[in-house]
């Protein structure tokens, strides 16, 4: 983009240190970085918009070309009457069956898993399953 050599970059750094001062130089470089980042973002956004417009124009040209080719092919090769039998529509499943007619069972019926009976203890299951530990004073009696 910019062709800056090492000697030119050194001159820019020396001038920046003299003009801005070493105390405020990091803050100035931070601001310059922000400005450069915003400029790059705007350039990227602009380039993306231009690319999208070019792609749309190319697509319109291709669609016109394909439509012309399709029209030419259809004129050269008109569709023939087919000797295949006509297709019949599927029966409508939304129509209710006639009264008295039994409907076939559905192909799949979901069944719930059996539920285990609740434990007979009054307390929570994790406490009822544990045995109560013996107290040291009870064992010596």
Q: What is the pLDDT of residues 55-92, one digit of tens each?
A: 999 999 999 999 999 999 999 988 776 666 667 777 76
Residue-wise over 105-117: b if at least 16 C-beta within 10 A, else e?
A: eeeeeeeeeeeee
pLDDT of residue 141: 45
Residues in CB range of 17: below 8 A, 6 or more apart: 25
The percentage of residues in the chain with a pLDDT greater than 70, rounded to a whole number, is 58
Q: 34-61, pLDDT tens digit by residue? A: 999 999 999 999 999 999 999 999 999 9
Residue 48 · residue 56 · CB < 8 Å: no
**Does residue 21 come out as left (phi exceeding 0), alpha (psi in the -120 to 50 range) or beta?**
left
């Amino acid at each position: 983009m910019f062709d800056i050599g090492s000697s030119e970059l050194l001159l820019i750094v020396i001038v920046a240190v003299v003009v801005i001062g070493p105390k405020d130089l990091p803050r100035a470089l931070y601001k310059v970085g922000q400005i450069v980042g915003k400029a790059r973002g705007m350039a990227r956004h602009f380039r993306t918009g231009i690319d999208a417009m070019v792609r749309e124009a190319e697509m319109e040209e291709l669609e016109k070309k394909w439509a012309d080719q399709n029209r030419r092919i259809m004129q050269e090769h008109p569709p023939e009457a087919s000797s295949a039998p006509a297709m019949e529509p599927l029966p409508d499943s939304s129509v209710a069956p006639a009264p008295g007619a039994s409907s076939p069972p559905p192909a799949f019926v979901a069944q719930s898993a059996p539920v285990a009976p609740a434990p007979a203890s009054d307390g929570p299951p994790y406490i009822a399953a544990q045995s109560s530990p013996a107290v040291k004073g009870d064992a010596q009696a």
